[in-house]
Structure 1
């Protein structure tokens, strides 16, 4: 009973296969009822607007006839189906037609925005599942950060755990300039390859990739700062 109504040629339609399946009818009987309507002398032109012939392939690969029908066409075919179960299916079809027609009436910009949000939500969901499955706290944090970006559509400032520090924070702790800290880190090859991590810190993917330091990284910088200062002053 999924996708009872679809959008085709900018119109909400269903098809004879779905109707036959929903109302537990033989498809050839539904086809016969539609053909009778179309071929009737009275109101023939109107019925031709309600139904469009098409083809589908069955399980054996054989091509067979089917019909697409709009709301009016469905009404004419389904009105002969009686019983409580049939009424329940009619109500579901009516609801499906209403929902699809409301979507069609939405401005194109709104429909595109809804599609974008749905896509972003799916991407964020995938990133969240991957994050929850990883054993690395740093990798999990990066993935959750990207999941949040996918939902908001904006670059977010990374929220780091207390044991990670930006170069500015390291500079404040050690009373060093950021340039000198970077110089020391480069001289002793403290940083991992881009996008990687080690015991001294990790790359964070933001607009400009930035290395964040662990306490071990800060201690190592502190050990080499006097040598680096002397070289820097020469």
Structure 2
């Protein structure tokens, strides 16, 4: 998971590298600390110094253990991702960071939310399903992310399937992913024309039933196409991620 942490920071920030939280971050941490987080925990992370500025007590309730230290919490969490989910979680995180970097520095990310759900190991050894929501708190003058907040919610009782689902609340994100996918010619050619068509409709936010109606076929056939898209690819790629993109609410 080191690629996730290395995918965002530039070599030099336009703001000084200070680990101490400014007033805005302090206020945000105080707000998160006051918010009742039953079945949830949160943290605020500073990319400049790779350290946490805040982590809530709920982490012990959800995962049954505390990390060895604040500085290691993010790595500790990534190490607990289910091995089958880890490639897609890493790829999704790198892809979102790439998307953010290509946006103009002056573009507002105040309402940006990335949500992804996957399996995370509990201290007792079993896996629970969590929904991770990432918010951008600060960007520097070049647009590089300085601080983010993350909220983890245990959704094990609401989601029983094992697929990884990704949602980004930006209207142009799907087009960005499609463009990135098309740069991978090998992966693109591995899919049939029908599978490419299904992928495009998935990116538009359509469910399997909606895609089936649009293509005048059955839901079973659409789900088979989506499953085959994953099986055709021997290594993680953007098209593997396309099958997991979701524009619907989690819950």
Q: Give the TM-score normalised by structure 1.
A: 0.21
Higher normalized helix content (fraction of residues): 1
Q: Which has the higher contact order (CA 8 A, sep 6+)?
A: 2
TM-score (norm 2): 0.20
